[in-house]
Copies of this chain bind each other. A is one copy, B any other.
């Protein structure tokens, strides 16, 4: 068994605490201090006794409960400070530390401080949404590429940075697209996707709180996205679009003969 180094950036997975990896959970139990994202399942805190748990209050998409976000540089400073004090520190992040998780800033600071660390991957929201809806992100032959992306818009509804949403021209699009953190801007995203040449009847699925008991799933087409939006506002939401959003249709296996349903386990 690999022991915890001084510091680990650990992916907590997308929702319920049992979607963390075995290694991630073992490291949590060996830690002195945990710096946890605000959206982390509260069950984690109960599962790991004896550690100092610090909620770094990073909500990302939502501060409407009045609690301010903890600025990234303060989180990063705490990480370095505790490690320098000789503590075993876990930075616990929702989903996976390498996807839309500001991992770069924390890795840069740890490297500058010459602190040894490990990144423990986790299940990202796109994968959890696909599992929950039983709609694989890739499909044989017709769905072989999927682009993961975020969308940030200015007040005029224009993306604040060059954002191609899977390709500027319709023929260049990925087969499927998953947009993270759309909870606050579903309408702007819909308008922009149509302007980018995605057909209005492109299948879409919205999943909020993927992989948790509070999960909300809506499906439709790109043109109906605005009607679907109200159930998802203000929640951590991923939008899946294209081939990956289509339901899998039941289809019998060729050559599978009917067998009697006898319980041979008994």
Contact = CB atoms under 8 A, between A and B. Distances in A.
A254 interface: yes
Contacts of A103: 136
Of A11, A253, A259, chain B has the most CB atoms within 10 Å of the CB of A253
B19 A21 contact: yes
A124 B148 CA distance: 13
Given A1-B18, A87-B265, A146-B149, 20 more contacts: A11-B127, A18-B21, A21-B22, A73-B253, A77-B253, A80-B256, A87-B264, A98-B137, A98-B138, A99-B127, A99-B136, A99-B137, A104-B248, A112-B251, A113-B250, A119-B130, A141-B161, A144-B150, A146-B147, A147-B147
21 contacts: A13-B21, A17-B22, A19-B23, A20-B22, A21-B21, A22-B25, A81-B259, A85-B264, A86-B264, A87-B265, A88-B265, A99-B138, A104-B140, A105-B140, A108-B248, A109-B252, A111-B251, A138-B148, A146-B149, A164-B167, A166-B174
Count of chain copies: 2
A121 B119 contact: no
A49 interface: no
A144 B149 contact: yes
Contact of A172 (B113, B135, B172): B172
A137 B135 CA distance: 23
B80 A262 contact: no
Interface string A51-95: 000000000000000000000010011001100111110000000
A16 to B, nearest CB: 8
B85 A263 contact: yes
A1 B137 CA distance: 27
